[in-house]
Structure 1
Amino acid sequence: MIPRSLFRAAASLLPLLLAACATVTPSPERPRLVVLFVVDGLPQRQVTGYRPQLAPDGLARFLDRGAWYANANYTHAFTVTAAGHATLLTGATPSRTGIVGNEWRDPATGVEVYNTGDTAYRYIGNATQRLDGTSPRNLKADTVGDVLRRADPRAKVIGISGKDRGAILPAGHLGTAYMYMAQSGQFASSTYYMERHPAWVDAFNAARPADRWFKEQWRPLLPEAAYAGSLPDDSPWYGPRGGRLPMTMGAAADSAPNAAYYGSLLRSPFADQLALEFARAAIRGEQLGQDEVPDILVVSLSGHDYVNHAYSAESRLSHDHLLQLDRLLQGFFQDLDTLVGRDRYLAVLSADHGFTPLPEYTKSQGRDAGRVNLREMSARVNAELERSFGATPLVQVSPSSSLVVDRRLAAQRGLDLDRVAEVAREALLREPTIAAAYTRRELERGSLPDAPYFAAARRTWHPDVSGDVQYVLKQGWIATSNAATHGSPYPDDTHVPLLLWGPHWVRAGRVDTPVAPVDLAPTLARVLGLPPPPSSEGKPLP
């Protein structure tokens, strides 16, 4: 990992070099503040499907008075939170960012790696577990914020999220990340960024704002008839805990807020409300957007993903959650108009991924769908490998939708890694739930450009961190104990909102031209008068 001190040194020298070379010409019309909202797990179909029920100035600000891209799709195969958050401001797919999943197995050792895990750093004022996210060490690409801060170290780049990865990855190497602590209800940074919090963070946490929803209820915004198109509450697929509105925050037996209560807020609109309140405190505390130097604020709203995992995007709870979030955004826009100035900021909203429909619901509609047991699938593949090579287990399932060959065992038996991977791939393709599978050699060489999902699999694969066989499940099939999930190259998971508002920089209207989230970073760089991030694969949005 490059020491942060070297980043700071480079940041102090680069403005002089850039001025001498005249490679960056800041526009006099640059926004004072760019605000990126990432709604975790929001498929585009929900934005358009619930449009008649939106508030006048929440999501509707983008749809009615901003630019919205109706055909924005991720182009990598494994669509998960970390990969999407890493893509948005780098303009790069996982094949360049190295963030191939939320977790993955180190191909050399088989040890599990967390995308923002870094044991050299700890959370400030909160307990830190081994796999907690504390730094952007694993991010192999620069963000727009990194380019901005190298051009002018006075610029501030802040990431805020209910998840560590949702804050750290968009904040990049030179920004600052604040994460919701589900054990304490606080927001905290890590020692990668600073040794102690600024006063405004301490003041926010000292007020214990998360406590005020203890024993409060999440109530639906609209009458029952408004949710007629959504799955009813307490559907049998939600598991023993069920799910019904109104929903009380905090267990009946608890007499005071505790870790279980703080964690439960993430499956409600309240954690997102808290994140937006912390963002308001950051705007005030850091004076964002108050001078001629542009700043970047990223607010990743995690609640929708938790709700969709628990109840599915087809549920009434998800439907209502988006409407609640829409009203929260409306209030935040009103405050931005006051705190920063309506004509001084650019707002962007997107998502890190969509959501595969609940398999049981899909089957009820007469379409193929179901659940995959990865442990059983791995056992069948290893049995085939044992028949071929006389050794087992030769592969482990990686959480990044791949298989990793046990290099130690293969070396002991004198086995060729590529041959082991080929046999594993052949065994995978005999599984009735596998749509495609490709070996390390094929992905490195790019030798199958026209094969099904090969291009998407190659964009989701990085040679340093990915497995030896990358696979794709059939559409409608998921591997999780949750009600629903994501992680596929199909439109349910790849098709996300991409919305921009800022009258000085954005022409209003719907755009049907196919675009991708990698196009956002070069677009923002152009607006800010900067070169695009070095690893960017996108092009400015039309």
Structure 2
Amino acid sequence: MRLLLATICFSLFCFIAPAQTKTSTVSGTALSRPKLVVGIVIDQMRWDYLYRYYDRYAPDGGFKRFLNKGFSCENTLIPYVPTVTACGHTCIYTGSVPAIHGIIGNGWYDPLKQRSVYCTEDPGVETVGAAAGTAGSMSPRNMQVTTICDELNLATNFRSKVIGIAVKDRGGILPAGHSANAAYWYDSRNGNWISSTYYMKELPKWAQDFNAKKLVDKYYGLGWNTLYPINSYVQSTADEKPYEGKPFGAEQKGFPYDLKKFAGSNYGAVNSTPYGNTITIEMAKAAVTGEQLGADNITDMLAVSFSSPDYIGHAFGPNSVEQEDDYLRLDKELGGFFSFLDAKVGKGQYLVFLSADHAVAHVPGFSEEHKLPGGHAPAGRWSQDLAKLLNEKYGSSKLIIGNYNHQLYLNHHLIDSMKLDEDGIKKTIVQYLGRQPEVARVFALDKFMEVPLTATQRDMVANGYNQKLSGDIQVLLQSGYMEGGATGTTHSAWNPYDSHIPLLFYGWKVPAGKTNRETYMTDIAATLAAMLHIQMPSGCVGKVIEEVAK
């Protein structure tokens, strides 16, 4: 009997012990995720800004926190053209390229609709948060794949909260994805943050309260002077240069800028000042508090884009005192935001990445001043010459219907109705543009695989080419050349000055360090998916950055 009892007890022990061990193992290896993921995109940030101003960044600022306590991918590149805002934001969050995700520019000509299309336009929705108008008729419907935010929602059965915030509508809408709880953007007509009926019927109370503060008028009252004595801005050109724009009026030629005249009347001027970053940070803080982001163990996501560096950069250029001051102030803003998250969500409880949608070229006037390659491409004259040439040769001056993203769109309906030789028209255009000194390469897009290009150029053109939406002829300008006026600068080229961007990770489970190996904008979403143990977005072509996702 004792032997039987001992045998039964031993058997029970052998049965129970593994069960207890298994339970402990499951508990000890429960899925771990951060409480909050914060995506930061700086609209128009060159990689070299990290180090050009390094000595001037605050010890407790955002950039040194990333560089000294986080992980930096030093050689991150954009793998497509055109390098513009809508494509960049979409690529970061989808891990995809325009050929797949369908956002081929900020705008483009749609051959099926036979009209120009804006990347986030949606006539089927209405403005929320302001009087009726088209500023809020926006949604992510033109984006043809999911974002990492959508995949987070799918992974948590839509228990996560996802919010997108940016001054520019496309900077808030496209990253947040199709299933976001909300996206908010700034209405320059009235100084309100708005949304659309795609997301909600009315703004939440916290957003209404935020709008009621009219912070922009307060910042206008402060004016914009340099953060430090102006003679300390030795990394920049002189304050006033003839090739810089005048966004605040021709009478304001340099620091300090008087902004008081804009209060109550011009709410768009703030976009071209560092205060555009300030109102974005404050709106992000209000969203974290109002939506209780990161308040529980279900991971939330906040996608924030800073639009003002792009406005400032376009007007003044990357070598201006204005842009240096903008980044020194943004550094402090980011440091304050991280301190806010430390207190609100908890140190080590949130994951942050920072990148850019594109970089930027030097102002042509600056390049000429310093004997660097670059200048203006006379696109207006080319258009006139081509209209005349095509009229003489084919009987119509309207055979080119659009010029978007350095691509020419042919008027196929007119060509078909006139029974013209389409290949001959393309050849005529290519031959004319190929003779222009500002043009490096020009070719018909349906034949670009036959054109001798470098591997980098070919891949970037291929990744940007969407068969249903792209144009017929691609133009690649010489290094440093761009279309535009006599002042300011732009971006969109394949060259490293437009395509080399920062990529930094910080926070939850991010090791300190850096890599100099080549990484790509498309790798961000894939890496986040690996870290969060969720599916990659539906069009993702990126690779996991193993050094970050250990």
* TM-score, length basis structure 2: 0.89
Pairwise CA distance, 1:112: 1.3
Distance (Å, rounded) in 2 between the aligned partners of 1:397 and 1:286: 43
Secondary structure class of the residue paired with 2:76: coil
Alignment of 1:170-189 (within 5 A): 170-175=175-180, 176-189=182-195
Structure 2 residue 278 is matched with structure 1 residue 273: yes
* Bigger-Rg structure (1/2): 2
> Which residue of 2 is the match for residue 513 of structure 1?
517
CA distance 1:380–1:124, shift in 2 (3 Å): same
Residue 403 of structure 1 contacts residue 468 of structure 1 at CA under 8 Å; is this kept in 2? yes
Secondary structure class of the residue paired with 2:505: strand
CA distance 1:104–1:202, shift in 2 (3 Å): same
1:105 is matched with which residue: 88, 102, 109?
A: 109
Amino acid in the other structure paired with 2:109: R
Distance (Å, rounded) in 2 between the aligned partners of 1:229 and 1:117: 40
Q: Cα deviation per residue 1:199-235 (whole Å; 9 max; x = unaligned)?
A: 1111111222222123322221122332123111221
Question: Which sits farther off after the overlay, 493-502 or 390-399?
Answer: 390-399
Secondary structure class of the residue paired with 1:71: strand
Structure 2 residue 142 is matched with structure 1 residue 138: yes
Pairwise CA distance, 1:416: 4.1
1:37 is matched with which residue: 21, 36, 40?
A: 40
Q: Cα deviation per residue 1:154-209 (whole Å; 9 max; x = unaligned)?
A: 11111100100000110111112100111111111111111111111111112222
> Which residue of 2 is the match for residue 71 of structure 1?
75
Structure 2 residue 295 is matched with structure 1 residue 283: no
> Which residue of 2 is the match for residue 541 of structure 1?
545
Secondary structure class of the residue paired with 2:45: coil
CA distance 1:484–1:265, shift in 2 (3 Å): same
Amino acid in the other structure paired with 1:249: L
Residue 250 of structure 1 contacts residue 257 of structure 1 at CA under 8 Å; is this kept in 2? no
Secondary structure class of the residue paired with 2:517: coil
Secondary structure class of the residue paired with 1:99: coil
Residue 309 of structure 2 contacts residue 326 of structure 2 at CA under 8 Å; is this kept in 1? yes
Distance (Å, rounded) in 2 between the aligned partners of 1:129 and 1:474: 41
1:295 is matched with which residue: 300, 304, 315?
A: 300
Distance (Å, rounded) in 2 between the aligned partners of 1:115 and 1:131: 13
2:498 is matched with which residue: 487, 493, 509?
A: 493
Alignment of 1:119-138 (within 5 A): 119-127=123-131, 129-130=133-134, 134-138=138-142
Pairwise CA distance, 1:127: 4.4
2:526 is matched with which residue: 505, 513, 522?
A: 522
CA distance 1:106–1:390, shift in 2 (3 Å): same
Distance (Å, rounded) in 1 between the aligned partners of 2:309 and 2:345: 27
Distance (Å, rounded) in 2 between the aligned partners of 1:340 and 1:73: 32
Distance (Å, rounded) in 1 between the aligned partners of 2:477 and 2:212: 47
> Which residue of 2 is the match for residue 473 of structure 1?
477
> Which residue of 1 is the match for residue 332 of structure 2?
327
Residue 79 of structure 1 contacts residue 486 of structure 1 at CA under 8 Å; is this kept in 2? yes
Residue 133 of structure 1 contacts residue 164 of structure 1 at CA under 8 Å; is this kept in 2? no
Distance (Å, rounded) in 1 between the aligned partners of 2:300 and 2:417: 54
> Which residue of 1 is the match for residue 259 of structure 2?
249
Distance (Å, rounded) in 1 between the aligned partners of 2:428 and 2:51: 44
Residue 243 of structure 1 contacts residue 311 of structure 1 at CA under 8 Å; is this kept in 2? no
Pairwise CA distance, 1:332: 0.4
Q: Over the residues paired in the alignment, what is the CA RMSD in angstroms?
A: 1.9
Amino acid in the other structure paired with 1:34: V
> Which residue of 2 is the match for residue 459 of structure 1?
463
Residue 440 of structure 2 contacts residue 478 of structure 2 at CA under 8 Å; is this kept in 1? yes
Distance (Å, rounded) in 2 between the aligned partners of 1:329 and 1:381: 49
Residue 32 of structure 1 contacts residue 290 of structure 1 at CA under 8 Å; is this kept in 2? yes
> Which residue of 1 is the match for residue 162 of structure 2?
157
Residue 98 of structure 1 contacts residue 462 of structure 1 at CA under 8 Å; is this kept in 2? yes
Distance (Å, rounded) in 2 between the aligned partners of 1:102 and 1:318: 23
> Which residue of 2 is the match for residue 367 of structure 1?
372
Residue 109 of structure 1 contacts residue 407 of structure 1 at CA under 8 Å; is this kept in 2? no
Distance (Å, rounded) in 2 between the aligned partners of 1:477 and 1:28: 51
> Which residue of 2 is the match for residue 51 of structure 1?
54
> Which residue of 2 is the match for residue 233 of structure 1?
239
Residue 115 of structure 1 contacts residue 133 of structure 1 at CA under 8 Å; is this kept in 2? no
> Which residue of 2 is the match for residue 351 of structure 1?
356
Pairwise CA distance, 1:371: 1.1
CA distance 1:127–1:459, shift in 2 (3 Å): farther
Distance (Å, rounded) in 2 between the aligned partners of 1:410 and 1:128: 40
Alignment of 1:194-205 (within 5 A): 194-205=200-211
CA distance 1:522–1:306, shift in 2 (3 Å): same
| Same amino acid, percent of matched pairs | 34
Distance (Å, rounded) in 1 between the aligned partners of 2:241 and 2:469: 39
Pairwise CA distance, 1:131: 7.6
Q: Cα deviation per residue 1:424-451 (whole Å; 9 max; x = unaligned)?
A: 22322122211122323125xx444745
Secondary structure class of the residue paired with 1:238: coil
Pairwise CA distance, 1:384: 3.1
Distance (Å, rounded) in 2 between the aligned partners of 1:186 and 1:215: 18
Tell me the number of residue pairs that the alignment of Structure 1 and Structure 2 aligns. Answer: 509
Residue 127 of structure 2 contacts residue 134 of structure 2 at CA under 8 Å; is this kept in 1? no
Distance (Å, rounded) in 1 between the aligned partners of 2:442 and 2:133: 34
Secondary structure class of the residue paired with 1:456: helix
Residue 77 of structure 1 contacts residue 472 of structure 1 at CA under 8 Å; is this kept in 2? no
Q: Cα deviation per residue 1:131-155 (whole Å; 9 max; x = unaligned)?
A: 8661111111210011111222111
> Which residue of 2 is the match for residue 211 of structure 1?
217
> Which residue of 1 is the match for residue 172 of structure 2?
167
Secondary structure class of the residue paired with 1:514: strand
Distance (Å, rounded) in 1 between the aligned partners of 2:41 and 2:63: 12
List runs of 5+ in structure 1 lacking aligned partners: 1-25
Distance (Å, rounded) in 2 between the aligned partners of 1:314 and 1:475: 18
> Which residue of 2 is the match for residue 401 of structure 1?
406
Pairwise CA distance, 1:512: 0.3
Distance (Å, rounded) in 2 between the aligned partners of 1:231 and 1:110: 45
Distance (Å, rounded) in 2 between the aligned partners of 1:196 and 1:160: 16
Distance (Å, rounded) in 2 between the aligned partners of 1:148 and 1:109: 33
Q: Cα deviation per residue 1:17-72 (whole Å; 9 max; x = unaligned)?
A: xxxxxxxxx97221111101111111011121111111113110110110011111
Structure 2 residue 319 is matched with structure 1 residue 309: no
Distance (Å, rounded) in 1 between the aligned partners of 2:496 and 2:137: 29
Amino acid in the other structure paired with 2:401: Q
Structure 2 residue 228 is matched with structure 1 residue 222: yes
Distance (Å, rounded) in 2 between the aligned partners of 1:87 and 1:417: 33
> Which residue of 2 is the match for residue 21 of structure 1?
none
